[in-house]
């Protein structure tokens, strides 16, 4: 009478292991997909920022040229400083985006590396339950 119970425990344990591994794989794939989406979004934001910067610099150049002011001295240094500030902001934004992308990649890697340990734990727990059921009945 112990055999059907032990077989049921073993079957249940195997289903849990396969389900756990499948869930880990699905979660890792989802994290990878999110990382790629974040990467594309970051590239889009960077492109938009560059376009806005170019438009502002072009407007400044046209304004300076139309006013007849020579581009030497303080006006030129203001334009240069504006470009530097924009570059610094872009660098910080780019770094933040790269860190978010890397974090998603690490999360996916961690999920996949933890899955075999969780499966082994489930197998050991199931084996202990099967042994206990075979001894008691």
User: Each residue of 101-113: pLDDT tens digit?
Assistant: 899 999 999 999 9
Cα–Cα distance, 106 to 120 (Å, whole number):
22
Asked whether residue 119 carries a pLDDT value surpassing 80, the answer given is: yes
The share of the chain scoring above pLDDT 90, in percent, equals 42
User: Which residue's entry shows tokens 């996916």?
Assistant: 108
* 3-state secondary structure string across the chain: CHHHHHHHHHHHHHHHHHHHHHHHHHHHHHHHHHHHHHHHHHHHHHHHHHHHHHHHHHHHHHHHHHHCCCCCCHHHHHHHHHHHHHHHHHHHHHHHHHHHHHHHHHHHHHHHHHHHHHHHHHHHHHHHHHHHHHHHC
Q: Quick one: pLDDT at residue 79?
A: 62
Mean pLDDT of the chain: 84
Q: Quick one: pLDDT at residue 11?
A: 92
Q: Quick one: pLDDT at residue 109?
A: 93
pLDDT tens-place string over residues 51-92: 888 887 777 777 766 776 665 555 556 666 666 676 677 777
């Amino acid at each position: 009478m112990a055999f059907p119970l032990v077989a049921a425990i073993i079957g249940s344990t195997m289903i849990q292991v396969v389900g756990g591994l499948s869930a880990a794989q699905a979660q890792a794939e989802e994290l990878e997909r999110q990382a790629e989406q974040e990467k594309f979004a970051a590239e889009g934001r960077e492109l938009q920022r560059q376009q806005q910067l170019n438009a502002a610099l072009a407007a400044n150049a046209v304004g300076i040229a139309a006013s007849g002011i020579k581009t030497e001295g303080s006006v030129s240094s203001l334009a240069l400083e504006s470009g530097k500030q924009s570059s610094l902001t872009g660098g910080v934004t780019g770094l933040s985006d790269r860190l978010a992308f890397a974090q998603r990649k690490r999360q996916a890697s961690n999920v996949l590396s933890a899955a075999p340990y969780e499966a082994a734990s489930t197998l050991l727990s199931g084996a202990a339950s099967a042994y206990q059921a075979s001894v008691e009945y």
